[in-house]
Amino acid sequence: MNKMLLLAGIATTLYAVNANAMDFNQYVSAKSAFVKMENDADVNSHYSFSGTNHHHNKIFDNRHKDDVWGIRLAYGAATPVKYGKLRGELEFGWNDDAKDSSTNAFKVITPSTVNATTETSVYSAMLNVYYDIETGTKFTPYVGAGLGYARVESKASLPDNGVSKKSSDNNLAWQIGAGVSYAMTDNISFDAGYRYTDYGNVKDSYQMNVAPFKKSFDITSKNDIISHEFLLGARYSF
């Protein structure tokens, strides 16, 4: 994580130097994000009896959803192109914990249930590119895409089965989106937009106790994280 932040800082510095040298229109922006997080959870059990018979059972394969808030901070620069402007920026983001709880039925020899809760948070650093479409008015629609780094942290709890597990992964993330800005002054504009973001997945393994069996089962889990993000913020150009 520290190496990623260092590289991001170096990239930002070099970007600023190049922007000054080429007389680009530089800017900073801050946005609040209403995020509809989706966690596609796939959890499987692996167990054996008498050391010979091996079994695999899907505990659950559900898509958990939660609405959370996030923050996006960015530094970028814009240059005129045909019919508009091309913008590039380095953006840092954070999403609050997305929470969910569920009761899942599965069968070993006899039917059993598992009560599960999950909490998922995301930290990201994205390199975004936008195309601003000039309209001759104060309104400027845009489309954009981004590629970068996401650290996904997930906590799974199975309170009836003795499990409380924190997991994290460093992933390649990407996003696409669109929006519109409104120029209040030559330097200040307000921005509203939508983006779809794929933050990658978190994988882990642990053990779980299931009544009435007096032994631990091996568990593997995979959580795929995506989000639908609605953004509202301001941009200051200098």
- Over residues 132-145, the pLDDT tens digits come to 999 999 999 999 99
User: Are the C-beta atoms of residues 230 and 20 closer than 8 Å to each other?
Assistant: no
* Spacing of C-alpha 175 from chain mean position: 9
More confident of the two residues 120 and 21 = 120
54: confidence class by pLDDT, cuts 50, 70, 90: low
Peptide bond into 111 cis (omega under 30): no
Mean pLDDT of 8-32: 66
More confident of the two residues 164 and 147 = 147
Domains of the chain, residue spans:
2-237
- Over residues 66-85, the pLDDT tens digits come to 999 999 999 999 999 999 99
Nearest Cα to Cα of residue 26 among 191, 189, 187, 185: 187
CATH architecture of 2-237: Beta Barrel (2.40)
Q: Looking at residue 97, what is its pLDDT?
A: 92
Compute the C-alpha angle 142/16/25, nearest 5°. Answer: 45
